[in-house]
A = this chain, B = another copy of it.
Amino acid sequence: MEKSKVLVVGGTGFIGRRLIAASLAQGHPTFILMRPEIGLDVDKLQTLLSFKAKGARLVEASLDDHAGLVAAVKQVDVVVSALSGTHIRSQHKLVEAIKEAGNVKRFLPSEFGTDPSRMGHALEPGRAIFNEKMELRRAIEAASIPHTYISANCFAAYFCPNLAQIGTLLPPKDKVRVYGDGNVKVIFVDEDDAATYTIKSLDDPRTLNKTIYLRPPENILSQNDLIAKWEKLSGNVLEKIFIPVDEFLSSMKDMDFGGQIVMGHFYHFFYEGCLSNFDIGEDGAEATLLWPDVAYTRMDDYMKRYL
């Protein structure tokens, strides 16, 4: 079967770049939306040109240019959005364009995190983001656009080598803050693997109108598991500072908006266990079961890069 033509929107970001690389690697004709603002950022432009050199096609259009977006969407079969958090709402423009174009066989909005359909109870102010994602889902479904939602859980770069410490991306050297008793199961995913699974889903009938959860069995780990792996790798035993839930939540109060959003996520992941405390039902499927051929990266191998 011929591989679908894919348009990536948000192709210069953290996950977008990986989606393009995965799309090219899996043999999809790959198109990238080149927004005018990207053309002013020398690094982002060079990133786009490096993908062009590898065979991707750049399609110029602004998110505010409806006709341009429709024309871009008409060139492809599948649209994958990797727009960052601040642009969630802009994706309604993409939905409008896809609706008008009428040819798209699959749309993947920018999700790649926690499943928002299970986060109606989330702490403010972070809940607003889940609500926006749900509003977008309703617009997609109201327009009868075939879709797939990807719940990729914790991207390793942000959560794993720092042993889930807030405010750093590097491994701690002497002390580590442990949330609660540190035994809640969290799910870590190598971001390149997240991109690989996402692209695998595009032409797979088993993923149509479903949510795909990325749950690599060996990467379902508690914070204590993660710390133990790092201690073994580094040969360095860390002092553990256990943070009771009340202390954690009360420390949020004085933070700015961004800080509160981050803390809210950590609360749900590491105290509540929101990533692992449910069974995937009929509306979903699990990535490593769908595509057992993907050799995903284990977190000790991931952390070796930081030694």
Q: Hey, which bits of chain A sit against chain B, CB under 8 A? A: 14, 39-40, 42-43, 45-46, 49, 52-53, 157-158, 167-170, 305-306
Name the contact of A305 in the complex, choosing from B14, B39, B53, B157 (C-beta under 8 A): B53
Residue contact B169 to A39, C-beta cutoff 8 Å:
yes
Residue contact B305 to A45, C-beta cutoff 8 Å:
no
Name the contact of A40 in the complex, choosing from B43, B53, B169, B305 (C-beta under 8 A): B169
Q: What B residues does A45 contact at CB under 8 A?
A: 157, 169-170
Q: What B residues does A168 contact at CB under 8 A?
A: 39-40
Give this chain's copy count. Answer: 2
Q: A49-B305, A49-B306 are in contact. Are A42 and B170 (CB under 8 A)?
A: no
- CB nearest neighbor in B for A167: B40
Shortest beta-carbon distance, A283 to chain B, in Å? 31
Q: What B residues does A49 contact at CB under 8 A?
A: 305-306
Residue contact A42 to B157, C-beta cutoff 8 Å:
yes
- CB nearest neighbor in B for A12: B43
Residue contact B52 to A305, C-beta cutoff 8 Å:
yes
Q: What B residues does A167 contact at CB under 8 A?
A: 40
Q: What B residues does A14 contact at CB under 8 A?
A: 42-43
Task: List 5 A-B pairs, minimum CB-CB distance, nearest first.
Answer: A39-B170, A49-B305, A45-B169, A42-B157, A39-B169
Shortest beta-carbon distance, A144 to chain B, in Å? 36
Q: What B residues does A305 contact at CB under 8 A?
A: 49, 52-53
How far, in whole Å, are A23 and B306 apart by their CA atoms in the complex?
22
Q: What B residues does A53 contact at CB under 8 A?
A: 305
Shortest beta-carbon distance, A254 to chain B, in Å? 20
Q: What B residues does A306 contact at CB under 8 A?
A: 49
Residue contact B42 to A158, C-beta cutoff 8 Å:
yes
19 contacts between A and B (CB under 8 A): A14-B42, A14-B43, A39-B168, A39-B169, A39-B170, A40-B167, A40-B168, A40-B169, A42-B157, A42-B158, A42-B169, A45-B157, A45-B169, A45-B170, A46-B157, A49-B305, A49-B306, A52-B305, A53-B305
How far, in whole Å, are A43 and B169 apart by their CA atoms in the complex?
11
Shortest beta-carbon distance, A290 to chain B, in Å? 27
Q: What B residues does A46 contact at CB under 8 A?
A: 157
How far, in whole Å, are A46 and B305 apart by their CA atoms in the complex?
10
Q: What B residues does A52 contact at CB under 8 A?
A: 305
